[in-house]
A and B are shown apart, each in its own frame.
Chain A
Amino acid sequence: MRRVYAHEEICMGCGLCEVYCTLWHSKSKELIKAFRREQPKPISRIRLVQEKPISFAVQCRHCDDAPCVFACLSGAMHIDEKTGLIMHDDEKCVGCLTCIMVCPFGAIKIDPYRHKVVAKCDLCQGLDIPACVANCPNEALTLEEVQPR
């Protein structure tokens, strides 16, 4: 399976990863429409964290033995049998926040526009290269093949 790695030495903190993540997770996938008119508003599943001079982007690490999966009260957080990725089913989620309590990376967000749902990285299903990696102007995010679980 594949995993995105952040390289803090070359991250400029521009935040384009968040922009393109939001865009890919919008309905229209059109920049202006997605940010201005879509309801509910799309949100980024990657988070740029910084404490100057350090900055890098964090998203779901798709952990082996992912604690969020075993903490989930509704069964929304699950391991995809085919890809091994940790996936989140919006329809099942009740926003209990238990996954947020146990994620070592703080990589799960509360979706403020949709009541009681969380959001996280799905490695951009449908894209060869996740939007954050493809659009990082400095190649501070790379996609790497790792041993499957």
Chain B
Amino acid sequence: MSPLLAGLLLTLCPAGAADLTLGGGGAWLETISSADLESGPGSDLVDSRTSLADQASLDVWNTGGATWQVVVSRTDAHWPTGARLWARRTSAGTGCDPVSGGEAFQEVFALDQVLFSGTDDCLGITVQLRLTGLSLDIAPDAYLTAVAYRVE
């Protein structure tokens, strides 16, 4: 193999090109109804809803012992104005040393945001989601967004 091809191979397939697998609760389905009024008729909706602590479980593997970070973003298919989505890491998983960051809720935007980082393969890092900005101003409908977790 020529030095040129060897260099290209290392560039395109770096040892640290880790993989990420999503497990846990998977999709988060929330239903808003009159039961979510803060104190019955005359009051607005409770502003926020929080998912299970382990709504998502992320496995980061094939890291080759390298340092990595998980970034998060979202793509709205149909999303209500004023509603905001947040994510946080709720466990450190197993096998990695160490995992850091992401313990406080941070808002998920269309652009990548670093959620947390770590070193080496790491299994079962749990993530919790939160919705805020819920109100009666949101018309009855089904809303959908896709949250993307990416390891780099």
Chains A and B belong together in one complex: no
Q: Which residues of A contact B (CB under 8 A)?
A: none
